[in-house]
Structure 1
Amino acid sequence: MSTDDIVTLLIRHRVKHGSEQEYEGWLRRIIGIAKGYPGHLGIDVVRDKQDGLQQFTCVLRFASGDQLQAWLGSSERRDLVAEVSHLLADGDQVEINPEREFWFTPATTDATPPPRWKQACVTFLVILPLALAVPLLWQPVFKVVPWLGGYVPSNVVITASIVLLVVYLFMPPVTRFFAGWLNQR
């Protein structure tokens, strides 16, 4: 599997007032079920407000479009969405994007993104340790495969490693961790 095959599914639900706890319980159940589907690579949930209602944006990644469609078209998902539909203000809002990465703010929310300086600080905190550690981790490989340790090949390998680690592994949980500070005005 290459990273070119990965697709992202965005699901937005605005929850009616007073239904947030019931929705959270349902959300935990559906996340557990989605994780069991072939090709599921992870999920992030972003909580926000839109027009005075709690909005949940679920960002699911799948290894391929076919595997994403298997989950999206499953009777299991359809039944679970029907079960919670009475809690949703706008129904089940679904968006598929083969390239979407999702770090700081949902695409259709009324909220403004955090100030760029805060985004830069969080990004710096993620990239700096990787920039220090990743080259050291590749050194044994460069010694065994000398041509890979050349200036251009080694920089390509190290940079690609850092970018993939930032985008797919570290940035989503770090952004969730700093969400309160990022969105603080």
Structure 2
Amino acid sequence: MISGNERAASLVIRHEVRPTDKDDYEMWLKSIATEAQRFAGHMGVNIIRPHNSTGSYTIVLRFDSDERLDSWLQSDTRKRFINEIRPTLVNGEELEMHTGLEYWFTPPAEHRLQARPFKQFLITLSAIFPLTVVLPWVLHPVFDYVPLLGRPIINNFILAVVIVYLMVYVIMPRYTRLVSRWLFQ
């Protein structure tokens, strides 16, 4: 688990579903995802469905802090949902906490899915390039107004901090979810 209130937390959940219960599990999955969205700090959910004959689902749940993620994990709502679905699971559930970039391109699975390097390059470039064009233009008035911030090393550092922050916490979690089908083909 991560420390600090200001850092997002991701929970990776693995469920092995009995083949005869996949339809019930899919309905359950939609219901619990809807409930999780109602909790404070919820930042999104990504579901990786089985790619072969196994019933192995991977769910990535993101909250804006580990405290809010813990609140969801300990909630009566989640406990009720887990008790409801437990009979359809082969081995119960596996939970792992993650932070930062490690889950962007290599989600865990039985046969580890890995985006091809050229796809990682294209996704990352298409997210960073617009930021490197727009952010200097947007922050230029601030750099002009405060001369100390206008020094090359300082303004480059500020731009790097803003770009990395936006990439880690705002853009890439949503962007990779949006293009995940293409990314992992």
Q: Could you tell me the TM-score, scaled by structure 2's length?
A: 0.82
User: Could you give the per-residue CA deviations for residues 138-183 of structure 1, whole angstroms, max 9, x where no partner exists?
Assistant: 1122122221121122111111111121222222232233323322
Aligned to 1:28: 30
Aligned to 2:39: 37
What is the count of residue pairs matched by the alignment? 182
Aligned to 2:112: 111
SS of corresponding position for 1:53: coil
Q: Do the aligned residues in 2 keep the contact of 1:12 with 1:94 (CA within 8 Å)?
A: yes
Aligned to 2:128: 127
User: Could you give the per-residue CA deviations for residues 6-39 of structure 1, whole angstroms, max 9, x where no partner exists?
Assistant: 322211223332533432332222222223323x
Q: Which amino acid aligns with 2:159?
A: I
**Which deviates more, 148-157 or 22-31?**
22-31
The unaligned stretches of length 5 or more in structure 2 are none
* Identical pairs, percent: 32
Q: Could you tell me the TM-score, scaled by structure 1's length?
A: 0.82
Q: Do the aligned residues in 1 keep the contact of 2:8 with 2:169 (CA within 8 Å)?
A: no
**Which deviates more, 46-55 or 156-165?**
46-55
User: Could you give the per-residue CA deviations for residues 49-86 of structure 1, whole angstroms, max 9, x where no partner exists?
Assistant: 36622433222233433332221112211111111122
In the superposition, relative to structure 1, how do residues 179 and 8 fare at CA in structure 2: closer, same or farther (>3 Å)?
A: closer
The unaligned stretches of length 5 or more in structure 1 are none
In the superposition, relative to structure 1, how do residues 55 and 166 fare at CA in structure 2: closer, same or farther (>3 Å)?
A: farther
